[in-house]
Amino acid sequence: MKPVFSVVVPAYNEQEVLEQSYERLNAVLAGMGEPFELIFVDDGSKDATADILRRLASAHDNVRTLHFSRNFGHQVAVSAGVDVAQGDAIVIIDCDLQDPPELIPAMAEKWREGYEVVYGKRSQRDGETAMKKFTAWAYYRVLRALSGVPIPPDTGDFRLIDRRVADVLRGMKEHRRFLRGLFAWMGFKQTEVAFHRSRRFAGETKYTLKKMLRLASDGIFSFSDKPVSFILGTGAALAALGALWLLILLFVALAGHGNGLSALAALMVLLCGVIVLSLGVLGAYIARTYDETLGRPLYIVSERHGFPEEGEQFDK
């Protein structure tokens, strides 16, 4: 039967939580009384995640699994799940139960009222360091100021999207993706449902600092060209300042008081810093452009289980 709800669950080394996530998701979705499918995307896990998923897919008709050939990252795993989802509404949820499955019925209700994107807003966050909360808070304010894209603060990727939104996303081929930015950019009728984000059910975070930084820079560089304008402005201001300074030094020297060596040295260091920083920002845009021109696939699926046979359609 064609599912009304698809749930996309990315999983990277999640052997400790998978069974529990399945149980809770299944219980909630079964309680909603509509046909549904659970799509787990194994993002190149190195632990028993793949085995557990194969077992779930063979035991339950509505569990489908995609297995990547290597780790492609959370945002790509979610995109792959959305690519194969058949439902009229698609829910994106983390596998570690930090996003409560029990919120899905409330999201579905908003969807029935006509909203096309219903995102979970974290009213409270447990088990996260003050540092993470602060950097997240600051980051969203900076991003908002830079990009002008109204990315709602305190939201993650936990959300329900309508089929139409999923189809638009499927047409977006960019590699360096920042999904919450893309959803905000798309528009549509959006609303929120508040929830209390609890700590991880088990295991460690799979978002290393490196992955976090990459996501943060993807957010900025894909949604704003202000860093480049900023460089241009800074460069122009510094050049003007330098010219003025030289003129003053010239007069000072003419008056017979020429000693500005240390000041010059300091100035040099400052200017070099600005130049290298500017090159870095330009480089970031060039690297992204290069990445996209290569035209490689966004992800590589090495195995899939639980999907209807090739060519076979769900009976309506």
Binding positions for Mg ion, rule: CB under 5 A: 96, 98
Q: Which does 77 bind (CB under 5 to 8 A by kind): Mg ion, ligand UDP, none?
A: ligand UDP
74 binds, among ligand UDP, Mg ion, none (CB under 5 to 8 A by kind): ligand UDP
Residue 189 makes CB contacts below 8 A (sequence gap 6+) with 114, 115, 116, 117
Tokens of 170: 């499927």
Contacts with ligand UDP by CB under 6 A lie at 10-12, 14, 43, 71, 73-74, 77, 94-96, 98, 205-207
Query: In the bound complex, what is the minimum distance in angstroms from residue 71's beta carbon to Mg ion?
Result: 16
How many residues would you count in the chain?
316
Whichever of 94 and 154 has its CB closer to ligand UDP, that residue is 94
Nearer to Mg ion, 131 or 294 (CB): 131
Q: Which does 178 bind (CB under 5 to 8 A by kind): Mg ion, ligand UDP, none?
A: none
Cβ proximity of 90 and 179 under 8 Å: no
Which CB, 14 or 116, lies closer to ligand UDP? 14
Residues 22 and 42: their CA atoms lie apart, in Å, by: 14
Residue 22 or 115 having the CB closest to ligand UDP? 22
Residues 84, 86, 90, 91, Cα dihedral to 10°: -70
The tokens describing 286, both together, are: 């060039």
The residue (of 44 and 87) whose beta carbon lies closer to ligand UDP is 44
At closest approach, how far in Å is the CB of 201 from Mg ion? 9
H/E element, 295: none
Exposed / middle / buried, residue 42 (Cβ in 10 Å: 0-12, 13-18, 19+)? buried
- Least distance CB 268 / ligand UDP (angstroms): 42
Residue 68: its H or E element: strand 63-68
Residue 160 interacting entry, from Mg ion, ligand UDP, none, C-beta within 5 to 8 Å by type? none
Q: Which CB atom, from 201 or from 285, has the smaller least distance to ligand UDP?
A: 201
CB of 301 vs ligand UDP, minimal distance in Å: 14
Alpha-carbon distance of 14 to 47, in angstroms, equals: 8
Q: CB–CB of 170/82 below 8 Å?
A: yes
In the complex, least distance from residue 156 CB atom to ligand UDP, rounded to whole angstroms: 7
Residue 43 contact among ligand UDP, Mg ion, none, beta carbon within 5 to 8 Å by kind: ligand UDP
Q: Where are the alpha helices (DSSP H) in 171-259?
A: 179-186, 209-223, 226-254
Q: How far apart are CA 9 and CA 43, in angstroms?
A: 10
C-beta of 129: minimal distance to ligand UDP in Å? Answer: 11
Minimum CB distance to ligand UDP smaller for 206 or for 305? 206
Amino acid at 59: A
Helix (H, G, I), strand (E, B) or coil at 173: coil
* Least distance from Mg ion to the Cβ atom of residue 216, Å: 16
